[in-house]
Amino acid sequence: MSVERFVESIVKETLARMGDCPEDAVRKSVFGQSGRPLAVEFGTPHTTAVWLPSRDVVVFREKNGRCVRILNVGETMRARGIAA
């Protein structure tokens, strides 16, 4: 399983556990000034999840600005027995 597919699956799973609708998640890339992709953002009506590949984390934030949860992708993959 690729890291991108794994991140997408844990984002949808976490959004469902938080009570948000993961089917409505809109995925878009966030680019820096140099044009390189810096992050991938998943947006739902109530929550925004941002995957930062350089830091290997996914940050979940409610639309009102409160940080809800931070997941370490590498640790989550190891805990589930998936080789990164």
Encode pLDDT of 37-72 as tens digits.
899 999 998 899 999 999 999 999 988 878 888 999
Question: What DSSP character marks residue 35?
Answer: S
Instruction: Find all residues with CB under 8 Å of 37, minimum gap 6, and list them.
Output: 29, 30, 31
pTM: 0.84
Instruction: Find all residues with CB under 8 Å of 15, minimum gap 6, and list them.
Output: 21, 22, 25, 42, 44, 47, 49, 60
What pLDDT does 66 receive? Answer: 81
